[in-house]
Structure 1
Amino acid sequence: MVTRRTVLAALGIAAYPARLFASTADTVIPLWPATPPGGGGPAGPINVSAKGAVSNIAAPSMEVFQPAKPNGAAVLVAAGGGYKRIEMKKEALSAARWLTDRGFTVFTLTYRLPGEAWNAGPLAPLQDAQRALRLIRQNASRFEVDPDRLGVLGFSAGGHLLGMASVRSAFPSYERIDAADGLSARPSFSALIYPIITLEPPYDHTSTRRILIGTHPSPERSADWSVQTHVRSGCPPMFLVQAQDDPISDPANARIMADTCKRAGVPVELHQLTSGGHGFGMGEKDTTTGVWPDYFSAWLTTVASAASTRR
């Protein structure tokens, strides 16, 4: 069996410290057979902070977490970090544990960070997300998942990334390289948690905007890299959560996305928490944020079972 450690070693990348992977994924899938589209990128091993955030990502990949009792559905998870880092431990791995406990097969995405000298620039993470969705579908039988029951869960900047992947699934962000790229990159359902949605004023104070499109982007560029701009009928059903006191992603982000989905006829469920700030992951017990996974569980039961009949 190809393991996380053997693949990373073959790529010349130091394995993540075992303490970050207590739930332990035993399979890693590199996203690209060689250099990612456009080339460039950082050198040396991946960096892992004391809090379990990763950066200096030279080889984007997915880790696979398989449940004891699979329900046939799969979820691609992308943590946030302002496109400066990826909060793997705080967001992606806690989500993986929660989802596998409920029968979902989980793929956590280690995507390229645009500020790490990738020639594809802001397209790099979107290329990785689209490629990841296609590779999951290509490997559906291997992991015993239904390719028509493949959703996404993104946090903060990861919410922006998987939001863009959800609404721009047909956009050719890179040239086809193999058979996997002939498969759909459209998620069957999409959950975005305290997401960055719009990069337009007056909500453009985020690291996501600065790293993706610079300090003084044109109005056209700001609109083009905003998720809501690309919502159309036929986009996957959306689940949105945001605290009303979020100091990083203005609470208007989730409302803008919900309103745009409603106008386009896209099924959407929005939960606005009275408090909780930003970066609460799967919620904190005995706080306002502790309730959202219950809402999510109920929503998943509906959309995951209906996804195969909708496609």
Structure 2
Amino acid sequence: MARRGKKPKGRPINGWIIFDKPKGMGSTEAVSKMKWMFFAQKAGHAGTLDPLASGMLPIALGDATKTVPFVMDGRKVYRFSVRWGAETTTDDTEGPVVNSSDARPSRADIEDLLADYTGEISQVPPNFSAIKIAGERAYDLAREGETVEIAARTVSVHRLDIVEMPDAETTVFEAECGKGTYVRAIARDLGRDLGCYGHVAELRRVSVGAFGEDDLVPLSELEAAAEEGMEELDAEAIESGARPRVVDFEPLDEYLVSPESALSDLYEVMLSDEQASRVLSGNPVLLRGRDAPAFCDEAYATGHGRLIALGSVEEGSFRPKRVFGGKG
């Protein structure tokens, strides 16, 4: 007799939390905290953010995890401060200084170089990065004292602007870039080209894909919402060491963003109830209307008030490739 699979622990909730990760918290730690707080069956994030960085870490719960690649492939906006005069092993404040200089760049000096750092550029990722070398993370090898050789790669920097220069030591930039771009490498290379060296002193991610700065939710708000829905323990339970748990998730769930909000760059197919039922069974449906495309490599379908499937449009029909079976 075949054994039944274990029932997943947690709630079958689906959506995104656009988490404003505080400085000092790791991305994996943040995902674990959100999964526990929302008592979600599964969770994942759309792009690692270093512990020393703050800002946007989109966290997907439930079926939203199926849309993670579309967010990761989207453009990202970073606001960061570069401190001139020192280059470090980690290209940020964590590592020891390896090169230093008394020279400081003027605004004009920096602006003359910005064109070289926009468009398709070649970039060597920092030695302390998550790049894999022969199956090992570069930062693990670097911490063990091994010489790390990372090949240059082509990345896209759509925009690199000076925000302000509060003092001679510091320049604040904003960069809009594509997947795989390292802001720390931009700071390192700018410092070398300017002849003064430099490293990232502060880093904040303010935008990822379809999600903007106005979508950010700080940890304090989420903790307050969790507290609002926490059970009340009697004196006996408290004395026995019992910990209260969230029993009313409505205040927390107000912060969930729908899974399809990550797909704003894709064509949306709006289905009738009958069509939605067909697609949920894995069947294609014919699209009607003058605005319906004949072909579309990537599209998503909505129906029954929610995201139904990811797929494509071929010969005027929506063909599901990945069906979303969860409720909500």
Report the TM-score range of the alignment, normalised by the length of the smaller protein: under 0.3
Q: Which has the higher strand share?
A: 2
Greater RCO, 1 or 2 (C-alpha within 8 Å, sep 6+): 2
